[in-house]
Amino acid sequence: MANRGGATYEVDSRRPLLDTLREQGVDLPYGCKYGGCITCAARLRAGEVDQRRQVALNNRQIAQGYVILCVARPVGDCTLDVGVDSHDVLYRNPFLDPLAPHELKADIAVTGDVAPDNASSKEA
């Protein structure tokens, strides 16, 4: 956990990161618990998660490495920035900084070779 002093936790690849981290005492924000509200968003610095169930992020946010912890399951070792501290580029004024067609949410994005895969996020 890059923004919590490098603390490390052992997590379960079959369960959402939010659940296994909170059980180990990590105080994380959350809201809907089904992947739709963005409150629990964290930023993946390294590794890979399976977040097929998330519906909150647009493709720009996914490309920036955001993951929805209440539904994201780790595929391997992950390095994360968590909490609102990690939200520095999550929110933007929609009038000043519009999305390109491929940056919209997956269900309406204009798909092409630039559109990232919504099923998983990878950051090197």
Q: Among residues 2, 3, 36, 45, which is the contact residue for other proteins, using CB under 8 A?
A: 36
Q: Among residues 12, 23, 85, 117, which is the contact residue for other proteins, using CB under 8 A?
A: 85
Instruction: Number of residues interacting with other proteins: please give it, by CB under 8 A.
Output: 32
Q: Among residues 37, 46, 63, 75, which is the contact residue for other proteins, using CB under 8 A?
A: 37
As a whole number of angstroms, the distance between CA 99 and CA 108 comes to: 12
Phi, psi of 47 (to 5 degrees): 100, -165
Residue 45 CB, shortest distance to other proteins, in Å, is 19
Residue window 55-84: x/- pattern of binding to other proteins, with contact defined by CB under 8 A: xxxx------------------------xx
Side-chain half-sphere exposure of 106, counting CA atoms within 13 A: 14
**Count of beta carbons in the 10 Å neighbourhood of residue 52:** 13
Cα–Cα distances (Å) from 55 to 76, 116, 122, in that order, read 22, 14, 17
Please give the residue ranges that form the binding site for other proteins (CB under 8 A): 27, 29-34, 36-39, 55-58, 83-85, 87, 90-96, 98-99, 101, 104-105, 108
